[in-house]
């Protein structure tokens, strides 16, 4: 009986300050390779994807994919996504050191002549109840 009460009390006081963040990725030109998403916390350098807080990957179907970061604490985050077309797990670069694989970013950020480089401040969004899915288009 005591163990049943303990289980019930744990469920009543479960931590509801976390959830699953879903990243809906669109704009993929083909289904080869995989899509990799890098999640950053406030204060992280989004230009250093190898130091991302969390990373997840998924296969492509119908030129899109859905990636999920499970049991993530609510708060401010930033996400970068790339289409790893050759499946090597890395964001490849060309001879000019520019990304050679399609990229996408949270908060609608797009690389461009006037946008500057991505930063946490430019990519940030608030993850919380009712705001658990974001869409990112890779280009």
Give the model's confidence band at 16: pLDDT under 50 very low, under 70 low, under 90 confident, else very high. Answer: confident
- Dihedral sign (CA 13, 18, 24, 30): negative
Task: Report the number of distinct structural domains present in the chain.
Answer: 1
Give the model's confidence band at 4: pLDDT under 50 very low, under 70 low, under 90 confident, else very high. Answer: very low
- Please report which helix (H) or strand (E) contains residue 71, including its range: strand 65-73
- Give how far Cα 41 sits from Cα of 8, 24, 79, 125, Å: 33, 19, 9, 10
Question: Looking at residues 11-23, what average pLDDT do you find?
Answer: 77
- Closest among 52, 57, 41, 59 to 125, alpha carbons compared: 41
CA 68 to chain centre: 8
d(CA 23, CA 37) in angstroms, rounded, equals: 8
CATH of the domain at 50: 2.60.40
Question: Looking at residues 92-121, what average pLDDT do you find?
Answer: 94
- Is residue 127, in this structure, part of any structural domain at all? yes
- The larger pLDDT score, comparing residue 112 to residue 85, is at 85
DSSP 107: G
- Is residue 12, in this structure, part of any structural domain at all? no
Domain that holds residue 124: 17-137
DSSP-based three-state secondary structure for 109: coil
Instruction: Please tell me the predicted confidence (pLDDT) of residue 6.
Output: 42
Give the model's confidence band at 2: pLDDT under 50 very low, under 70 low, under 90 confident, else very high. Answer: very low
- Is residue 7, in this structure, part of any structural domain at all? no
- Is residue 48, in this structure, part of any structural domain at all? yes
Instruction: Please tell me the predicted confidence (pLDDT) of residue 113.
Output: 86
- Is residue 11, in this structure, part of any structural domain at all? no
- The larger pLDDT score, comparing residue 11 to residue 55, is at 55
- Please report which helix (H) or strand (E) contains residue 36, including its range: strand 34-41
Instruction: Please tell me the predicted confidence (pLDDT) of residue 15.
Output: 55
Contact 55, 37 (CB under 8 A): yes
- Is residue 73, in this structure, part of any structural domain at all? yes
């Amino acid at each position: 009986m005591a163990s049943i009460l303990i289980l019930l009390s744990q469920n009543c006081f479960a931590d509801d300050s976390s959830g699953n963040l879903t990243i809906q990725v669109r704009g993929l030109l083909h289904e080869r390779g995989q899509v990799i998403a890098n999640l950053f916390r406030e204060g992280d350098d989004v230009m250093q994807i190898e130091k991302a807080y969390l990373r997840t990957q998924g296969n492509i179907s119908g030129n899109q994919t859905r990636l999920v970061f499970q049991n993530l604490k609510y708060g401010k985050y930033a996400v970068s996504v790339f289409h790893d077309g050759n499946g090597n797990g890395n964001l490849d670069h060309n001879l000019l050191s520019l990304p050679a694989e399609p990229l996408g970013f949270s908060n609608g950020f797009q690389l461009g002549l006037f946008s500057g480089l991505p930063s946490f401040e430019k990519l940030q969004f608030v993850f919380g109840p009712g705001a658990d899915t974001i869409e990112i288009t890779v280009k």
